[in-house]
Amino acid sequence: MANPQKRGTLKILSAMIATTLLTVSVAACSENAETGETSETTLTTEILQSAATTKMLETVSTDPTPTATATPTPTPMPTLAPEERVVTVSFAGDCTLTQDYRSSNKKFDSTVDGDMEYCFQNCAELFKSDDLTLINLENPVTDKTGHKNNQYIFRMDPENLEMLTTNGIEAVNIANNHTMDFWEDGLQDTRDNLDEYGIIWSDDRYGATFTTSNGIVIGMVGLGNDTNTSSVAGIIQELRDEGAAIIIASCHFGAEGTYEPTDRQVKIAHSLIDDYGVDIVVGTHPHRLQPIEKYNGHYIFYSLSNFCFGGNYSLTDPDSVIIQCDFIMDEDGSECVDYRLRVFPYCQTSTRPGNDFCPAPYEWESEDYFRVMERLEWAQGDE
């Protein structure tokens, strides 16, 4: 389990309430024919909060009052200006910032060649312009050598986390089927290394929060392909209890190589919204784009596909996307009341054929651009 003292920005403090650690969820790895990955389930779970916030309370005297005093006027809740009510979060899909650990062809490392700005150079300004950027980080960050015997094994050097911090990526989901490639020790190293670099992480054992400059708290939780929504119910409630006005669920789910969500994907996404009040559901894992759905007033991205995937040297389908969501808050910033989306069609490589691990935007209204929009079932008029 992650040490609460090491999470830095990953705690919410209150002067009146000591946060209770909650044991609840399931971390899962899916098995499929393409990756040869084995299924593993971890039952011991708990939650941590993030982004420290301390409230100073006025001291009230208990001495008797000799004369009657008027009842003080209640202090009104602060009202945010219209521009302060917009919280912008960018979402991108699966990222493996390394190559297969056992491969003799170290193409990702040789292409990047230590340049921490290289992979995200075409989108860094977009990521830096928002309040928060969230991706799915699909590789352990560890120096361990003992690993599973899956078809693909990924291991990222800790110093390469600078690729995220340099390019405006503040948060990652690590509830995915490669999290346990280097077993539990590798997973714990991943958490510790992310903490050390100040990168917020969440999965199906731990929730996390981020506080914007305007004091609005964003809560995050992750689900693996075998995680049931009931397993993260306690995490979601705890995030709400700790002040999260926006809840994002990152779901690594579905079937690889498919363009339509499975029945289970739909059921999970709908349940997260209907039963647990999640504001937005962000899907990864299929390695393909899947449609955007607006369901009961909330958006579901069933699959954002890969974004920067170092484990794939040739791309049978290079289409990807960055989606920015504006969460429109009420006057005191306590609740999201509306959503606005901006969709940016991207290619996973800036040179074709092959993969140079440098995603680039498709040209406006090009054939590639419209293909992405069609796969997302999204039109320019929806923006």
CB atoms within 10 A of CB 262: 15
Residues 6 or more apart whose Cβ sits within 8 Å of residue 231: 24, 25, 26, 45, 204, 223
Indicate the pTM of the whole model: 0.80
At residue 382, the pLDDT reads 64
Is the CB of residue 78 less than 8 Å from the CB of residue 306?
A: no
Q: DSSP letters of 244-260?
A: EEEEEEEEE-S-TT-SS
Domain boundaries, given as residue ranges, for the chain: 20-54+78-382
At residue 82, the pLDDT reads 82
At residue 81, the pLDDT reads 83
Q: Which two tokens stand for residue 195?
A: 């903490």
- Shortest CA distance to 235 belongs to which of 267, 196, 205, 259? 205
Domain spanning 20-54+78-382, CATH class: alpha beta
Q: Which two tokens stand for residue 15?
A: 């002067």
Q: In tens digits, what is the pLDDT along the chain, a chain of 383 residues?
A: 443 333 433 333 333 333 333 333 333 333 343 343 333 333 333 333 333 322 222 333 334 444 444 545 554 556 888 888 999 999 999 999 999 999 999 999 999 999 999 999 999 999 999 999 999 999 999 999 999 999 999 999 999 999 999 999 999 999 999 999 999 999 999 999 999 999 999 999 999 999 999 999 999 999 999 999 999 999 999 999 999 999 999 999 999 999 999 999 999 999 999 999 999 999 999 999 999 999 999 999 999 999 999 999 999 999 999 999 999 999 999 999 999 999 999 999 999 999 999 999 999 999 999 999 999 999 876 65
